[in-house]
């Protein structure tokens, strides 16, 4: 079993293409912050000696939240427990990245619409925090 666990919880009310884009943004940044070793990234090689690099040995579970408020509550709990996380909100879409940063800076946390959150931390703590969410289908 792995020491740490990575789980994404995505807002089930957001259109699938938009929510997958949010997931991609979160994974790019978070992956670079966490690093190769903690994520157990390795290279797979196929029978033709083709390389398939940087695939995690760890499971990466994608779950669904009923709405933004559930993700906000999860975010607050993760923060309280010191679990690493990255999230994505409605203010991070539309316009330039500078406009998105400005819009986010003017929006209170409780007024943000959360598209998703990715958690990484102690296996048992992350499991406990995310056990009430259903598998993304």
> Is it the case that residue 40 has pLDDT exceeding 80?
yes
| CATH classification at residue 55 | 3.40.1490.10
The per-residue pLDDT for range 87-120, each reduced to its tens digit, is: 999 999 999 999 999 999 999 999 999 999 999 9
Query: Does the predicted TM-score (pTM) go above 0.75?
Result: yes
3-class state of residue 98 by DSSP = helix
Give the domain range for residue 129: 4-135
CA distance 88 to 59: 21
Domain count, the chain: 1
How confident is the model over 42-63, as a mean pLDDT? 96
In the chain, what percentage of residues exceed pLDDT 90?
97
* Cα separation, 95 vs 69, whole angstroms: 25
What confidence category does residue 1 fall into, taking pLDDT thresholds of 50, 70 and 90?
A: confident
């Amino acid at each position: 079993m792995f020491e740490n666990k990575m789980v994404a919880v995505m807002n089930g009310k957001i259109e699938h293409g938009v929510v997958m884009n949010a997931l991609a943004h979160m994974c790019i940044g978070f992956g670079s912050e966490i690093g190769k070793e903690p994520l157990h990234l390795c290279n797979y090689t196929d029978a033709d000696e083709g390389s398939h690099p940087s695939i995690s040995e760890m499971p990466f579970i994608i779950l669904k939240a009923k709405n933004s408020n559930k993700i906000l509550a999860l975010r607050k709990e993760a923060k309280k427990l010191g679990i690493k996380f990255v999230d994505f909100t409605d203010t991070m879409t539309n316009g330039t990245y500078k406009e998105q940063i400005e819009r986010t800076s003017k929006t209170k946390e409780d007024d943000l619409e959360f598209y998703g959150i990715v958690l990484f931390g102690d296996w048992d703590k992350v499991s406990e925090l995310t056990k009430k969410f259903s598998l993304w289908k």
